[in-house]
Amino acid sequence: MRPLIIILLLITCFLLLRANSYAKEELAARLPQDEIDITASYHGERLMIYGAVPKDADIIAVVTSPKESLTMKMKGKVGPFWMDVKDIHFKNAPSMYKVHSTRVINDILSIEKQEELGIGLHGLKKQIADGAEERLTDEFIKLKNDEGLYSIKEGDIKIYKQKLFETYFYWPPKAPTGKYNIEVYAVRNGRVILHDTETLMVEKVGVEAFVSNLAKNNGMIYGILSVAIAIGSGFAVGILFKGGGAH
Amino acid sequence: MEIFLPVAGVSVNIFLIIGLGGIVGLLSGLFGVGGGFLLTPLLMMFGIPPTVAAASDANQIVAASTSGTYAHYREGNVDIKMGVYMLIGGIIGGTLGTQIIKILREMGNVDFVIKVFYVTFLGIIGAFMLLESLRALKGAKEEEIEKPSLLKKWMMKLPFQIEFEKSRVRTSLLAPVILGVAVGILAAIMGVGGGFILIPVMVYGLGMPMNVVIGTSLFQILFTSANVTFMQSIINHNVDIFLAIILLLGSSFGAQIGARLGRKLSSDQLKIILATTVLLVAVKMLFDIMIMPAHILSYKGGH
């Protein structure tokens, strides 16, 4: 009789533990909104991303915009002058790329793994490089970084009571419109144990959408309108000065 | 107060942009230049993409030059006859120039050549104007009228001699057309409105008085910038009307103040200030190509 009870007890304990650990192994990344509306007063947006943290796991959150194919001009020194010497193509560069993590990414994940998942500086370089010289990839990242479109903040994710993580991402006004992916990874012992994806749309609304659509789709009307407004206001100010001026 | 610019895709401070517009408008009313040489790089410094900066600037110049032309017209300082002939030449030259630049671009890197060309050109014009007007101020006046330049002598030999009353010159109607073509080609190649090139041509080439030169130049710039705005809207879709409106709020007022200020200065004083500005721009551009850039990569497009 006794061994049976012990075995039953053990099984129950095991099941309970398993259930318990399942309950803890959750990531559930959340964004407070799934859209950023660009209005006339828009000057960037700061958004919080939060979720549950599995026990003893590190969190890495990656925000990426759609990739674009870009042609850049490269300057070189010729004699005493700096001039554009050639065109450089980046076929696979995201317009915006931001990574936040609980601590130094190299301590969380191996470089191979970073490259594979497109995480951190190594992952970013791997995506962009695509045949381009390393020095130029570095220059490209530096430019984007200075524009506030690329950033890697290690240690920027805060964990509360070992249960909840939280971090703020900033969309600068320059961040292009479109669909952004937010990938959140929970990593333990160098292995990704959980992964969650959220998406966010950045779009122009109201008068901003109206003007940019008109510019894009109705160049003729837009051009006439622009010139007419300019001539009209030039005259208006001229007449204003004639009326009010001391003669 | 910040406003998001729909086409440029960045947000800017309204008052800062109005202020920039005001300064450029002042220059415009004072000298009869568009001011794109100054405003486009400044706008780029505030994160506005180069092509959008150049195109919206052209739109803004339409307002400043309308305002400025109107102010000068009331003073009787716009020679419309001369302006129209030069405009005809300018359109022909602009079309030719656009084709030339297309061919040059296909041949390889020309941006740099253009910059060097521009710097040299501005440097020579600026230095020449400065020396000439300083000499004139010292008392060696009226000397030039007795010693017409080679260009003037040649123009006097051309057929269709007519009187331009406002400018107080008698020359062939072909003269402004030919000069207009030359300015149009240069302006298209250098990617600027052409005020800087046009003014010395009218002063030294045609021998027009400085105040009429300024008014007539503004009249010309009004048409060329309206054309650029229109073409940019249709072909490249990069005119930001919000940016242009904010700029023109400043520049159309600035142009009026500039025109008034100009009345208080003599022809030679105006020339000296203009020549100094031209030289400063040339020096600045020279520095730009000699100092190591912060980034060796830049986005393609625009000047």
Per-residue pLDDT reduced to its tens digit, B260-273? 888 888 878 888 88
Same domain, A162 and A84: yes
Cβ–Cβ below 8 Å for A237 and B292: no
Q: Is the pLDDT of residue A6 over 90?
A: no
Q: Determine, yes or no, domain membership for A160.
A: yes
Same domain, A217 and A99: no
Task: Report yes or no: B182 and B36 within 8 Å, Cβ to Cβ.
Answer: no
**Averaged pLDDT, B173-179:** 82
Interface of B with A in 48-77 (CB under 8 A): 59-60, 62-68, 70-71, 74
Alpha-carbon gap, residue B117 to A36, rounded angstroms: 46
Of A39, A43, A226, Cβ closest to residue B241? A226
Domain ranges in chain B are: 11-290
Interface of A with B in 167-186 (CB under 8 A): 173-174, 176-177
Residue range B122-160, pLDDT digits in tens: 788 888 888 888 887 776 555 444 455 666 677 667 778
pLDDT band at residue A187 under the 50/70/90 scheme: very high
- Predicted pLDDT of residue B147: 52
Q: Out of A132-136, B6-10, B209-213, which region has the weakest mean confidence (pLDDT)?
A: A132-136
Separation of CA A55 from chain center: 26
Same domain, A47 and A132: yes
Token pair, residue A175, equals 């961040």
Q: Residue A43's closest chain B neighbor by CA?
A: B11
Same domain, A188 and A228: no
Interface of B with A in 83-142 (CB under 8 A): 109, 111-112, 115-116
Residue range B81-118, pLDDT digits in tens: 888 988 888 888 877 877 777 777 676 666 677 777 77
Three-state secondary-structure class, residue A106: helix
Instruction: Determine which of A237, A240, A242 to mutate to test the interface with B (most B C-beta atoms within 10 Å).
Output: A237
Q: Is the pLDDT of residue A23 over 70?
A: no
Among B81, B64, B70, B78, CA closest to B27 = B64
Q: What is the mean pLDDT of chain A?
A: 85
Task: Report yes or no: A224 and B229 within 8 Å, Cβ to Cβ.
Answer: no
Residue range B34-79, pLDDT digits in tens: 777 778 778 887 888 877 888 888 888 888 889 889 988 888 888 8
Instruction: Determine which of A227, A240, A247 to mutate to test the interface with B (most B C-beta atoms within 10 Å).
Output: A227
Same domain, A121 and A85: yes
Q: Determine, yes or no, domain membership for A192.
A: yes
Same domain, A169 and A199: yes
Rounded to two decimals, the pTM is: 0.78
Transcribe A195-240 into DSSP letters. Answer: EEEEEEEEEE-HHHHHHHHHHHH-HHHHHHHHHHHHHHHHHHHHHH
- Predicted pLDDT of residue A245: 45
Instruction: Determine which of A226, A229, A235 to mutate to test the interface with B (most B C-beta atoms within 10 Å).
Output: A226
DSSP H helical segments within A63-133, as ranges? 105-108, 111-117, 120-129
- Predicted pLDDT of residue A247: 39
Strands A191-204 and A35-38: parallel
Among B13, B11, B92, CA closest to B250 = B13
pLDDT band at residue A168 under the 50/70/90 scheme: very high
Alpha-carbon gap, residue A13 to A184, rounded angstroms: 32
Same domain, A97 and A71: yes
Q: Is the dihedral of CA A35, A217, B52, B102 positive or negative?
A: positive
Q: Residue A216's closest chain B neighbor by CA?
A: B237
Same domain, A59 and A159: yes
Domain of residue A214: give its range. Answer: 208-235
∠ at Cα A102 (A28, A174), nearest 5°? 80
- Predicted pLDDT of residue A231: 93
ipTM: 0.80
* pLDDT > 90: percent of chain B: 8
CB atoms within 10 A of CB A162: 12
Token pair, residue A83, equals 């001039």
- Predicted pLDDT of residue A130: 66
Cβ–Cβ below 8 Å for A234 and B65: yes
Which CA distances in Å does B188 have to A36, A219, B31, B197, B235?
41, 21, 21, 12, 16
Q: Determine, yes or no, domain membership for A91.
A: yes
Same domain, A189 and A226: no
Residues of A in contact with B245 (CB under 8 A): 229, 233
A203 touches chain B (CB under 8 A): no
- Predicted pLDDT of residue B302: 39
Domain count for chain A: 2
Residues of A in contact with B54 (CB under 8 A): none
Three-state secondary-structure class, residue B3: strand
* CATH number assigned to the domain comprising residue A69: 2.60.40.1930
